[in-house]
Amino acid sequence: MIENEHLLTVTPHQMPAGPLVLRVTGELDHHSAPLLSRAVDDAAFDDTGVVLDLSGLTYCDSTGITVLIGAYQRSQRTGAPLILAGVNPDQMRVFTVVGLDQVFTFHPSTEAAVAALAK
């Protein structure tokens, strides 16, 4: 069941000559996670990279984390750089406890992430 999907929105935006930005807004939990999972599956992972903009994420449970790790695994397979942008301090604390701070590349904002990928 994905009945709570409406609590989560994922908006893809292809930057001109830049990365694909997936803006994730709302609650990412075991009800809504399939929505992001599909968006990650549908996204083109190529040299220009992918940015997950999490600045609008208000909640992320363990199933949400599996989807983020899934995106990381995809980026490892394809060689496409992946950046998490705009992670709030509470969420960052959760990432640090589970050791994902050592796994992902973080930037404070989508702008900073896009600029870093352009280099």
Partner 1 sequence: MTVSPVRTVPEASADEAARLAAVRRYRILDTPPDGAFDRIAALAARLFDAPMATVSIVDTDRVWFKAVHGLQGVTEIDRGPGLCASAILRGEPYVVPDAGADAGAFADPLVRGEPGVRFYAAAPITTADGQRLGTVDVLDTRPRRPTEDQLQALQDLAALVMDELELRLSAMRTVAAERERRAEAERLARALQRTLLPPALPEVPGLHAAAAYHTASPDEVGGDFYDLFPLNDGRWAFFLGDVCGKGADAAALTSLTRYTLRAAAIYDPDPCAALANLDAVLKGEYQGSDPRYCTAVFGVLRPLPDGSHAITLAGGGHPSALAVRGDGSVEPISTMGGQLVGMLPDPQFVRTSTRLRPGESLLLYTDGLTEARTAGGTMLGEDGLTRRLTATAPRTAHELLDSVEGLLRQLGDGVSDDTALLALSVPPPPTPRIQENR
Per CB under 8 A, residues contacting partner 1 are 30, 61-63, 65-66, 69-70, 73, 76, 90, 93-94, 96-100, 102-103
Region for 45 from its dihedrals, namely left if φ exceeds 0, alpha if ψ lies in -120 to 50, beta otherwise: beta
SS3 67: helix
Considering beta carbons, is residue 79 or 99 the nearer one to partner 1?
A: 99
| Closest CB 111 distance from partner 1, rounded Å | 27
| Closest CB 94 distance from partner 1, rounded Å | 7
| Closest CB 65 distance from partner 1, rounded Å | 7
